Structures are given as structure tokens and as C-alpha cells.
Chain A
Amino acid sequence: MDLDPQLYEGMPEPVRKAWERSLTSGRAAMSRRRLLRLGSLATGGAALAACGIPPAAGSRGGNEPEDTPDHSKKERVLNFANWPLYIDVDDKNKKKRPTLDRFMRESGIKVKYVEDINDNNEFYGKIKPQLAAGQDTGRDLVCLTDWMAGRLIRQGWAQRLDPARMPNAVANLEDRFRTAAQDPGRQYSYPWAGIACVVAYNKKATGGKKVTSVSQLLEDESLKGKVSMLTEMTDTVGMTMLDLGIDPEKFDGDDFDRAVARIQKAVDGKQLRRFSGNDYIDELSSGDIAACLAWAGDVVQLKLDNPDIEFAIPESGYRFATDDLLVPAKARHRANAEELINYYYDPKVAAELTAWVNYICPVSGAKAEMEKIDKDLAEDPLIFPDARTAGRGKAFRPMSDKEQARYENKFAKLIGA
């Protein structure tokens, strides 16, 4: 279909595509199908055929600021969905969240903070029906890993943010995060934290042996039955690719299969105990798991509680991702969300948050602030990686939806489900 070029001027390619798609398979297409459904319901026998699940991008809400009326001025509230243990809490009173409480006091915005994201795909399954129906998900700000954030952006389910309302974020975002493949130019999303996937091990459980590579996880006989990998496909497969010398930023289908075959061998040989989400933490600490793939922020925290926990950044490199904040389509309080993003991009606040969360901080200037809070953390390569370490972190290249489905399917079979 011919579109006036002026209409999509300045839009990044994926956004423009999503936008075009909505015009060709949007509301109009929907209603025709609905009509069909009514007709064949009457004929009875063909009723089954009339059902069907409309395309995900079928009835999107629109992602331009003027598409969704913003109620931020009248309603000083913000519904913020995040992962568990992903914000600073007061040591004495776990119900108090110092940086968030200060934001509420200063801005007068009441933040309803809910920790209901446990898995990207699972959360997507939860909010997708509302998004597909063009409804408000009840969440104004969500935190999703880059590839999933990209999926929402591609489908037109994220609202474009107004840089003028977030001067801190625009000024302080570290340069290396500005050109993210899923959101070039950062029009829709800003990183909350960066996550490195590394190898972690329990010294006591390995008998003092160092575990420094994925090869060792998959093949070292002495670790048999005491190794876990992550249910996050991009991390587990990405780390294995790196170990095989494949760049996860530009792999192809064969590369993917090779990595999966390698892990499959370890599954069949009962080398791998299980694939886990965040719940590897307890087992690594107790020694049921001797060595595993782990997220760096978890490791920093675990080390504080259990001196036996060690980590290693494999020589072959490591997987790096960001968890990005974005405003879902039809959310009522975009301006409030922008205010919160801006607040967390103040280096002082960012340092305070990072001192507790221990994930990689995307805010430049935060390291200097961190030195005032905790010198050790400011020096920790898992939180403020030096240029060389940062350079070894590899993203998982964006995948088309079809590819994504195919890879997730192979991975699901691999992890035994």
C-alpha cells in the first residue's frame, strides 16, 4: 500500500513496518473477520473454522503521544511493574524503598510498585491479551529485557517517550546503550539496569576447583548432576555460542543448532541438573548446584552472604543485556512515568539504586557518586565494567518473530519441556 513518505519520516524502520502493518491488518480487517464469524456460527458446522486468533499487531492502540490521552496531570499515580529484588529497600524496614519514597515525596506522584515480572515470556503472555485488544494493561511502566522490549516496540505496543520531559535521561545515558538494536535512538525505552550473564560456582561444592568456562560446565565430570543453566534462551544459548566461538550478535540458524546440540549432549549425559530462573540462587548457595550460569547482580549479592560463591567471566566473552523501562500502549500516566525515568537518571539516585541492586548501571556519572557510597562497589567490574570488560559483553541479535518462535521452540525441547 502506498503511504505518504511524510507520514513516516523520522520513524525507525521497525516502527514504520509495524505501523504500516496496522493499517493493512488493523481494525478494518478485524471487523470483516468478525462478520464472517457471525455468519458461520449461524451455519453451525463451520463454527470451529470461524474462530482464530487475530494477529498480535492487529488492533493496536497506537504509540504516538497524541494517540493516548494522558491523565498524569489529574491523576498523580503511577503503576510500575518490575522484577523482584530490583529496587533498593531500607535495611531495617523492608517495606521502605528509599529512592522510590523520595521520588514520591518530591513529585507528589503515588507510585504503586508491583513486583509481578518473573519471566519475560510469561509476563508477555499476561499483558498481551489487553494490548492486542487495545486496552490499558493497568501498568504505566514496565521493565522488560531488551529483546522483549523490542518485541513490544515492533508491535506498536509501547508509547513514544518525550525526551523534553527527561533531560537527565537524555544527558546521562551511557553512550554504549544509545544505539540498542531493539530501539535505535532510544525513542521508546530507557535501560533500568544492565545484566551480565557469567559463570558462578560454589567453591565448597566444587572442592576448591575453579570453574571458568561454559565448556567446563557442560563437560567437567566432577560437576556431573550439579550444573544448572538458565531458562532464558538468549543467555544459555548465547553463552554456549560464545564458548563455541560463535558471535551471538550475528549467528545464523546452523550456529544456533550447533549450540543447542552441545547443550543437548550435556542434558542427555545427565551433566545438567536443571534449567532455572532466578531460583538457582538458593541451590547454588546450599551447594546442590556447584556451578551454573548466573546473572552478575545476583552473584554480587550472593557473595556478600556466602563467601564460597565465586564468579568467572569466561575468556570467550559473556552475554550482556539490558532491562528496559517502557510505557505500554494505552497506559494512562505516561508523563508520570517519564518523570520517574528522569529521576532515576540522576547519577546520585542511580548510584543509590545500584548500590543495592548491584546490576550494571547505565547512568554515566554514577560511578563517581558510588565512590562516595561504597568504594568497593565502585571498583567492582560486575557493576561498573572497565572498557575492556564492557567490550567483551555481547548482545543477542534481534530476531524476526518467526525466528524467535522457531528458536524458542527448539530451546523448549532442549530444556525438556
Chain B
Amino acid sequence: MSAPAVPASAGAPPPSGPEPHGSGSSGPSDGAVAGAAARPRRRLTPYWLLLPAGLWLAVFFVAPFFYQASTSVQSGSLEEGFRVTWDFTNYTDALATYAPHFLRSFLYAASATVLCLLIGYPLAYMIAFRAGRWRGLLLVMVIAPFFTSFLIRTLAWKTILSDAGPVVGVLKSVHILDVTSQLGLTGDERLLATPLAVVCGLTYNFLPFMILPLYSSLERIDLSLHEAARDLYAKPATVFRKVTFPLSLPGVVAGTLLTFIPASGDYINAQLLGSPNTQMVGNAIQKQFLNVLDYPAAAAMSFILMAIILIVVSVYMRKAGTEELV
């Protein structure tokens, strides 16, 4: 499929383009030669375009993936070195010890994703259809928190939610904290160091990842479809149910994935806003890797987390469908 098809003696242009060369003597052989030169190039183009991303993935995903896979079946200690012993007890130990952490990660991330959707959808809808000339400004405001570091923003919540602070004061006086503590989300009349604080932190930190894809899929909806639906006597609720929401599904799927996946691996929120009883699997991995320095255990836990996410996401995608996920 490559160059040998081009006889050098034919005087064809080197593969620089199919434009005619010389005078009008464009015989049939000439055209065939030009075509043969162009075809392989065109066929290769997609591969060239894939190259940067492919290299990136190979170096930063595939290689680490195999390295980690190997690490997860090693045993030993930092001082003596780790050797591959196909020691799968790393996996069973991790599951036995940290099952509650995995469960918590899944529950917290799922709750945060649902909250993000509930908060983000109306906002994205408003920006896409009702914001008029404020649209640009509102979008900037959605992204604005990213101008400050993730860590600083999470730390700020510690001050805002502090036990003697105004937020807790108001929630106490309207007895919302009684309700949440009945549900087991808070306890001892406080917000910090409770599961609720962790879920709220996750929701806050990942909200923009939900809003932006929702916005981009809502914004593309042709408004004449709304008109058509109304012409057919659909009530606003029906328009939303039959037209708007189905058309925004790609945004919903993309948004939930972009929220759920990073949230289930997050450890900053649980670290800063949680208590020893609300630690997620990310915290456990971080501790194993940086404090205990047991790399095989940390790698095995990362793999289990990846597997769980993969299963959850593929079940979800199967249900939600991805044909329209553009």
C-alpha cells in the first residue's frame, strides 16, 4: 500500500498533491500515478492524527497500567525490594480489610452525582434557554471556582461549616440537623466530620463537570422543536419529558460519568471534611502508598477500585445507551 507503486521514472510529482504538472499532456497513466500516490497518504492520515493521543496513552496509561498490574501481585518490603510472586492475597486482603471503604466510596460518589444532576440540570437549562445575554457571564461563573485551587476551596468549607458558624446555627434552628441525624447523615449537632459534609464537598467540587456537558447538549437543541411540540398542544411538562430531556441525554450521561468516576477516587473531601468513620477508598490507597509504603497493597486496591468503576459504568452505559454520546 505504499510508495513502490510509483515508478520514479514516470516523472510523477513526489506525493505533494494531485495538481496537474507540466503542460496539457495528462495521459491516463499520469492520472493513475497521481491517484496511487495520494491514496496511501490519505489512508495514513487518520493514523497520523491518532499518533499524539496514542503515544500519550501508551506512555501515561498503558505502561503505568501494566506496571501497576505487576506491582499488585508483588510481595516484599521497601527495604528488601518488591518481587513478583503472583501474590493475589494483596487483593483478598484489601477486599477483606477495606470493603467498607469501597462501599462508602461508591455510595458517596453516587449520592454526589445525583445531587449534582439535581442541582446542575435546572441551572444548565436556565443558562441554555433563558439566560439571554447573560449566558456568557453565567458560564464563566460556573467555571470561576476553578481559578482557585481545589484544596483551598475545600478548606474554605471547613470555615463555613464550622460548629459554631452561621450555617450550622441556621440549620439547627430550623431543625434540619435533627432530620439529617435521624437519617444517619450527621450526628452530635454538627456538619463537619459527618458523611453529609463529605457528600456535599464532593457535590460542590464536581458540580461544574456536570453542568458543562449538560449545557452543551441542551444548547444544541433546536428551539423550533419546542415550538413544534407546543403547536401539537403539548404542555410545558410534556415538552420537557418528550423532547428536551431525551435530547439532553448525551449530556446527562457525560456529566454523570465525569462526576461519578473522579468522585469515587477522591480523597481530599473525606480527608478534610470527614471523620475517621467516613474515609473513602482513596484515603486508604493514599495512606498505603505514602505512609505505609506498601505499594503492592496500594496497587491492588487501585485495581479493585478501577474494576468496580468499570462494572458500574458499563452497566450504566448499557442502560443509558451511548449512541448519542457525542
Contacts and interface: CB of A to CB of B under 8 A. Distances in A.
B294 interface: yes
A51 B162 CA distance: 48
Given A270-B188, A408-B292, A286 B277 contact: no
Contact of A274 (B66, B78, B101, B274): B274
The size class of the interface chain A forms with chain B is 35 or more
DSSP class of A's interface residues: helix, strand, loop or mixed?
mixed
Nearest to B274: A274
A119 B278 CA distance: 22
A136 B67 CA distance: 25
Given A48-B84, A49-B70, A52-B70, A225 B190 contact: yes
Interface residues of B, number: 48
Contacts of A55: 78-81
A11 B69 CA distance: 41
A288 B192 contact: yes
A272 B162 CA distance: 16
Contacts of A122: 290-291
A272 B277 CA distance: 10
Interface string A379-413: 00000000000000000000001100100110011
B73 A267 contact: no
A412 B193 contact: no
B276 A416 contact: yes
A409 B294 contact: yes
A409 B84 contact: no
Nearest to A121: B291
Nearest to A272: B276
Contacts of B288: 409, 412
Contacts of A51: 66-67, 70-71, 74, 84
Contacts of B76: 53
Given A274-B274, A274-B276, A121 B188 contact: no
B87 to A, nearest CB: 12
Contact of B66 (A47, A119, A270): A47
Among A48, A58, A270, max chain B CB count under 10 A is at A48
Contacts of A417: 101, 267, 279, 283-284, 286-287
28 contacts: A49-B70, A50-B84, A51-B71, A52-B83, A54-B81, A121-B293, A125-B290, A125-B293, A225-B187, A225-B190, A270-B277, A272-B275, A283-B162, A286-B163, A287-B163, A287-B164, A288-B190, A401-B77, A405-B78, A405-B294, A412-B284, A416-B275, A416-B277, A416-B283, A417-B267, A417-B283, A417-B286, A417-B287
Given A51-B74, A273-B193, A416-B275, 14 more contacts: A25-B81, A48-B69, A48-B70, A48-B84, A53-B82, A53-B295, A55-B79, A125-B289, A282-B158, A402-B77, A405-B294, A408-B291, A412-B288, A416-B276
Q: Which 8 A-B pairs have the closest CB atoms?
A: A55-B81, A416-B276, A417-B283, A416-B279, A51-B70, A53-B82, A417-B287, A412-B287
Interface of A: 25, 47-58, 119, 121-122, 124-125, 155, 224-226, 267, 270, 272-275, 282-283, 286-288, 401-402, 405, 408-409, 412-417
